[in-house]
Amino acid sequence: MHTYRADKALLPHGWAEDVLIEVDGEGNVASVAPGSKDDAAERIRGIVLPGMVDLHSHAFQRGLAGLTQRLATQAATFWGWRERMYDFAARLTPDDLRAIAAQLQVELLKGGYTTVVEFHYLHHQPDGSPYPERTAMALALHEAALETGIALTLLPAVYMQAGVDGGALEGAQRRFALDPEGWMRLIEDLEASFADDGDRCLGLALHSVRAVPPPAITEAVAAARGRGGFMPIHIHLAEQPKEVRDCLERFGRRPLDVLCDAAEPGHDWCLVHGTHLSEEELARVTAAQAVIGLCPTTEADLGDGVFPLADHLALGGQFGIGSDSNVGTSAAEELRLLEYGQRLAHLRRTVAATSEEPHAGRLLWCRALAGGAKAAGRPVGRLAPGFRADLIVLDPDHPSLVGRAGNLVLDALLFAPGPSAISDVMVGGLWCVRGGHHAAEASIARAYRQTMERLLA
Ligand SMILES: [Zn+2]
Q: Could you report the per-residue pLDDT of 356-412, keeping only the tens digit for each?
A: 999 999 999 999 999 999 999 999 999 999 999 999 999 999 999 999 999 999 999
Cα(408) to centroid of ligand 1, in Å? 32
User: Is pLDDT at 198 greater than 80 in this prediction?
Assistant: no
Distance separating alpha carbons of residues 16 and 8, to the nearest angstrom: 6
Is residue 449 included in any domain, yes or no?
Answer: no
> Is pLDDT of 74 > 70?
no
- Ligand 1 center to 121 CA (angstroms): 10
Q: Which phi and psi angles does 10 have, rounded to 5°?
A: -95, 110
Q: How far is the CA of 203 from the centre of ligand 1 (A)?
A: 15
> What pLDDT is attached to residue 197?
78
Asked whether the beta carbons of 97 and 58 are under 8 A apart, the reply is no
Report how far ligand 1's centroid is from the alpha carbon of 326 (Å).
10
What pLDDT shows up at residue 200?
81
Ligand 1 centroid–CA 277 distance in Å is 17
CA 450 vs. chain centroid, Å, equals: 26
Cα dihedral sign, 51-419-321-343: positive
Answer whether residue 73 shows pLDDT above 70: no
Q: How many helices (H) and strands (E) does the chain have?
A: 14, 17
Question: In this structure, is residue 426 part of a structural domain?
Answer: no
CA distances (Å), origin 152, targets 202, 244, 260, 326: 9, 31, 28, 16
User: Does residue 305 lie within any of the structural domains?
Assistant: yes
Mean pLDDT in residue range 16-30: 98
Q: Quick check: 308 pLDDT over 80?
A: yes
Taking residues 295-316, report their average pLDDT.
94
The model's pLDDT over 210-230, given as tens digits with 9 standing for 90+, comes to 999 999 999 999 999 999 889
Please report the pLDDT score of residue 95 as a whole number.
98
Q: If you average pLDDT over residues 64-88, what whole number do you get? A: 81
**How many structural domains comprise the chain?**
1
DSSP element (H, E) containing 269: strand 269-273
Q: How far apart are CA 443 and CA 439, in angstroms?
A: 9
456 part of a folded domain: no
Per-residue pLDDT band at 323 (split at 50, 70, 90): very high
Higher pLDDT, 355 or 284: 284
For residue 194, is it within any domain? yes
Is residue 303 one of the residues assigned to a domain? yes
Average pLDDT over residues 268-273: 98
Q: Look at residue 59 in the predicted model and tell me its pLDDT.
A: 98
In the prediction, which pLDDT does 75 show?
57
Residues of the domain holding 64: 52-376
Does residue 407 belong to any structural domain of this protein?
no
Q: Provide mean pLDDT across the span 161-180.
A: 94
What is the pLDDT, as a whole number, of residue 319? 98
37 domain-assigned = no
The pLDDT > 90 percentage for the chain reads: 89
Residue 457 CA to residue 298 CA, distance in Å, equals 26
Mean predicted confidence (pLDDT) in 101-125: 98
The H or E element spanning position 372 is helix 360-376
CATH code of the domain containing 355: 3.20.20.140
By residue count, the chain amounts to: 457
- Is-contact 135 189, C-beta < 8 A? yes
Looking at residues 338-360, what average pLDDT do you find?
Answer: 94
> Looking at the annotation, which residues are catalytic?
273, 324
Task: For residue 200, give the nearest of 233, 137, 157, 152 by alpha carbon.
Answer: 152
Cα-to-centroid distance, 237 and ligand 1 (Å): 10
410 three-state secondary structure: helix
Pairwise CA distance, residues 237 & 246, whole Å: 13
Say what the pLDDT of residue 132 is: 96
Q: What is the mean pLDDT of residues 14-21?
A: 98
Mean pLDDT across 262-279:
96
Of 204, 214, 336, the closest CA to residue 272 belongs to 204
pLDDT confidence of residue 82: 87
What's the CA-to-centroid distance between 324 and ligand 1, angstroms?
Answer: 5
323 Cα–ligand 1 center, Å: 9
Q: How far is the CA of 119 from the centre of ligand 1 (A)?
A: 7
Task: Give pairs for 33-42: CB < 8 Å, separation 24+.
Answer: 34/9, 36/5, 38/3, 38/5, 40/3, 41/3, 41/4, 41/5, 42/2, 42/3, 42/4, 42/5
